[in-house]
Amino acid sequence: MIEDWIVVTGGVVAIIVVMTITMLKLSSTERRVHESSHKLKVYTDLLNAITELNLAGGDAYKMDVAKKNLAITLNRLNLVGSPGVLKSTSDLLDFLNEHKDKEYDTTRLHNILNTLVIEARRDLNPKHARRIEEAHVRYRFFAPPKTR
C-alpha cells in the first residue's frame, strides 16, 4: 500500500518536472523567435534606410527624409543589434561622414555593406550564415554615383 503511494507520488512528481522543463524550453524558444523576428525587422529597416539615402541623390527633401529614417532606425538598432552589426554600422557611418559631398569608393562601400549583411545573418541564423559564407557569396547593392 505504501509502495503504491510512493510510486504514484514519484510518477506525479516526474510528470510535473517534465512538464515544467518542457514549458520553460518552449518559452525560451518563443522568446528567441520573437527576438529574431524583431531583429530581422530592424536589420531590414537599416538596409532600406541606407538604400533611401543612396537613392535620394541631389533631392534635398528626399535626403532629409532618408536621414530621418536612418536616425530612427539607428536608435532601434542600438537596442537590439549584435556587436558585429553595430561595428559594421559604425564603419558605414564613418565612411559616409568621411565622404560627405565628395566622390567615394563604391567598392569600399560595398565591402562595408557586405560585412554588415554577413554580421546580421550570423546574428539571425548562424548555421545558415556559415553555409552562405562557405559558398563565398558576395552581396550586391545599388549605389548610384554621388551627385554634388
pLDDT tens sequence across 44-78: 999 999 999 888 878 899 999 999 999 999 999 99
The pLDDT score that the predictor gives to residue 148 is: 47
Report in angstroms the alpha-carbon separations of 131 from 39, 44, 97, 103, 136: 21, 21, 33, 35, 9
For residue 145, name the pLDDT band (cuts at 50, 70, 90). Answer: low
User: What is the rounded average pLDDT of the residues 33-39?
Assistant: 87
- What residue ranges do the domains of the chain occupy? 35-134
